[in-house]
Every structure is written in C-alpha cells, then in structure tokens.
Amino acid sequence: MTDAAELRRRTRELLAAHPPATTGRTDFLKARFDAGLAWVHYPVGLGGLDAPRSLQAVVDAELEAAGAPDNDPRRIGIGLGMAAPTILAYGTEEQKRRFLRPLWVGEEVWCQLFSEPGAGSDLAALGTRAVRQGDEWVVNGQKVWTSSAHIARWAILIARTDPDLPKHRGITYFLCDMTDPGVEVRPLRQITGEAEFNEVFLTDVRIPDAHRLGAVGDGWKVARTTLMNERVSIGGMRVPREGGMIGPVSRTWRQRPCLRTHDLHQRLLDLWVEAEVARLTGERLRQQLAAGQPGPEGSGMKLAFARLNQEISGLEVELLGEEGLLYGDWTMRRPELVDFAGRDAGYRYLRSKGNSIEGGTSEVLLNIVAERVLGLPAEPRNDKDVAWKDLAR
C-alpha cells in the first residue's frame, strides 16, 4: 500500500527531475501523470498508483508548495469529473491509454452530449440515433445545454441504437470526435445574457466502433456512472466558511450598514446557518467518500447548494436595493468557464437558477433521495416496458 511518506518521496523525485521553474507546463504535467501522481487513486500506468483517494491532498500540497503548475481543473472539469471516471470504469485498455493522459493534462477538452430538447429530466428518453454501418456508427440528432462544446476536442455521447427496446435498454455510449464535419456547435444564449452553453447538431457524424464505451445497449448503465460523478462534482466542492455565495452577501452586510433592515437580517442569519450546515454536511460527505465511490448521497449536496445559491443571491439582490436594480452587462459572450466569483449579485441570482436544472433537476434528485436513500416505493410508471418509439412526446 502506498502511504503518505511514499507519495511525498515520489513527489519530491518528480520535482527534482522536472523542476517547475525550468520545465514547460505541459511537459511537467505529462511527467506528473507518468509518475502516477495525477490522480493517485487511479491505476498504475494511468496517472495513478492505486493509492487511497484521500492521499491526493498530500501530493497536491507538496506540488503547490513547490510552485508546480496545475492542470487548470476548472477548465477541464467535464473531462476530469465525468468522462475520466466513466472511461476508467468501462473503457478498454486501449481507450484508457489513448484518452486519459491528454484529458488529465488538459491537451484535450471534453464536453458532454447528453441532454436533448425532448429529453431533459427524462434523459433516458433521448432520441439522437446511432445506426451501425460496418465498423462505424452514423449519428444524427440534437443535443442541448452543452457547456464547453465550442472548445471541446472530444465528447461523451449517448445515443439511441435500438428504438424498438424500452428506453433504458436501447442506448449506447460513445466517445465522439468534436472535429467531425457533421458536428455543428451553436451558442445558446441564456437568462444571464451570456452563451455559456451550446446546442450541438449532429448530422451523419461517423464514430468508429472502437470509440464505443461499454457494450451496445448498455449506455444507460454507463451514463449513470457519469451522472453520479457529475452530481458529486457539482455539489461536492470543498469550501471554507463563508466560501460560497454567503461570502459576498455577508461582506456587503458588514461593510454597508445603511442597507440593513430587520427583515433582511433575519433572513441573512437563517441562510448563513444553512450555508454553514451545508458546508459541514459536504465536509462529512467528502470524508466518507475519501475511501470509496460516490453513492446517491451526493445528490443531497447538489440539492442543498442549488437552493442555497438561489436564495442567497436573491437576498443579496434585495439587500443591494437600488444597486440591485442594475446589471453588469447584457452583452452576449461565450465564456469558457462558469465563475460566480467577481460577478455581480444579479448575475449570480440569474445564473444560479440553472443550478436546480443542470446535472439533474432538483425534482429528479429529490425522487432519487426518496427512492434510493429512503427506500420509498417508486411512482407507478408506464414508461419502462414500452418500446422507446411508442412513448408519448
């Protein structure tokens, strides 16, 4: 078993062999990957050392102290948080070797081609078709809500391969080359004025069978691995006290007494306590996860943060009063990242409305909690045994 001391030793070896001051960023990251220090819980040869996940912090602290570059994890969040764990779980050896290294290093950005205009909360009803032709699949359809599609090199894609089967059984999971001439990415402007997401139109996109992930028809099972990881990566970020949206509103409260009212004071304190409890709950969940795989409990964190983000930013807009009536800028832009930090309260209020929709709606997540955590019976369903092509839409 690789322990903390061993990891520290290996990290220092890496730093000695590739001093950050004189090594190019990508070269350093590749060397780090090859040394098994990228994600230590991954297998040997794939950027890891089969070490406990909790020991990653040891490596990160050593590297940070030495001023080593990181892989800009926020820019490649979909790759790291969703594509990578799924490829690791279901990929062939060849796929793992081909994709994980450039993914982690950040040379290849990933996006997620899941949601469709007609398949949002009911993702399994998706209608994008993949038809086999020899060693290839020909894909046609439309995806939506795709962040990073305009900068992505690869996509994780789920498509319908058998419309005659019930919806969960006729789906197959692919790794899609975003440079294929049949891929068209169009910005989708949102409530904030920005186009952080995209619509992606797939017209006769050709995917080699070698880029299928998992068995034909197993796409839903594979996708659930991705979705579990997505929900954890959305809700499970480590935050210090007042580190989330409660921070800016608390600072505004302290600095600007003239804005205070009794009404807002009580609401602020209620939300402050809820934010602190959510932080502690997240911390506890993270400690649980350090050893194992994420379970459905991760859904709870996403639910809590979605609601808190919305309520806190809504309160802040009200607190700002006359200033809250203003907005920074409605100009349409295509940002690479979603970043709440440094944005005005109005932006945060509007953007956080998406938190209860993206990565699983809060309504669907509440069902997951009710059914998988509490064990409550599912609602009677009439969509599970019907051929996909016969579903009402």
Q: Any idea which residues carry the catalytic annotation?
A: 230
Name which of residues 117 to 136 contact other proteins (CB under 8 A).
119-122, 125
Tell whether residue 220 is a contact of other proteins (CB under 8 A): no
What is the rounded CA–CA span in Å between residue 150 and residue 157? 15
Of 15-23, 34-42, 99-107, 313-321, the window that binds other proteins (rule: CB under 8 A) is: 313-321
What is the rounded CA–CA span in Å between residue 274 and residue 94? 46
CB contact at 8 A, 101 and 188: no
**x/- string (CB under 8 A) for other proteins, residues 35-74?**
----------------------------------------
Among 317, 359, 365, 368, binds other proteins (CB under 8 A): 317
CB contact at 8 A, 49 and 285: no
Q: CA dist 222 to 96, 216, 277, Å? A: 15, 11, 33
Among 140, 252, 281, 361, binds other proteins (CB under 8 A): 361
Q: Which two tokens stand for residue 280?
A: 């502690």
Tell whether residue 326 is a contact of other proteins (CB under 8 A): yes
What is the rounded CA–CA span in Å between residue 70 and residue 32? 10
Shortest distance in whole angstroms from residue 293 CB to other proteins? 27
389: DSSP letter: G
CB neighbour list of residue 130: distance below 8 Å, 6 or more residues apart: 137, 138, 139, 159, 160, 161, 172, 174, 207
What is the rounded CA–CA span in Å between residue 182 and residue 212? 18
> In this complex, which beta carbon is closest to other proteins, that of residue 235 or of residue 354?
354
> In this complex, which beta carbon is closest to other proteins, that of residue 224 or of residue 353?
353
> In this complex, which beta carbon is closest to other proteins, that of residue 2 or of residue 121?
121
Shortest distance in whole angstroms from residue 386 CB to other proteins? 6
User: Distance of alpha carbon 113 from its chain centroid, rounded?
Assistant: 12
What is the three-class DSSP state of 200? strand
What is the rounded CA–CA span in Å between residue 278 and residue 258? 29
> In this complex, which beta carbon is closest to other proteins, that of residue 193 or of residue 217?
193
Name which of residues 241 to 300 contact other proteins (CB under 8 A).
261-264
Name which of residues 154 to 213 contact other proteins (CB under 8 A).
188-191, 193
* CA angle 33–35–41, rounded 5-degree value: 70
Shortest distance in whole angstroms from residue 183 CB to other proteins? 20
Among 177, 218, 318, 371, binds other proteins (CB under 8 A): 318
What is the rounded CA–CA span in Å between residue 33 and residue 66? 17
Name which of residues 363 to 392 contact other proteins (CB under 8 A).
363, 366, 379, 381-383, 386, 391-392
Shortest distance in whole angstroms from residue 361 CB to other proteins? 7
- The DSSP line for 257-277 is GGG--HHHHHHHHHHHHHHHH
> In this complex, which beta carbon is closest to other proteins, that of residue 55 or of residue 365?
365
By CB under 8 A, the count of residues binding other proteins is: 49
Q: Which residues bind other proteins (CB under 8 A)?
A: 115, 119-122, 125, 144-145, 188-191, 193, 261-264, 310, 314, 317-318, 321-322, 324-330, 346, 349-350, 353-354, 356-357, 361-363, 366, 379, 381-383, 386, 391-393
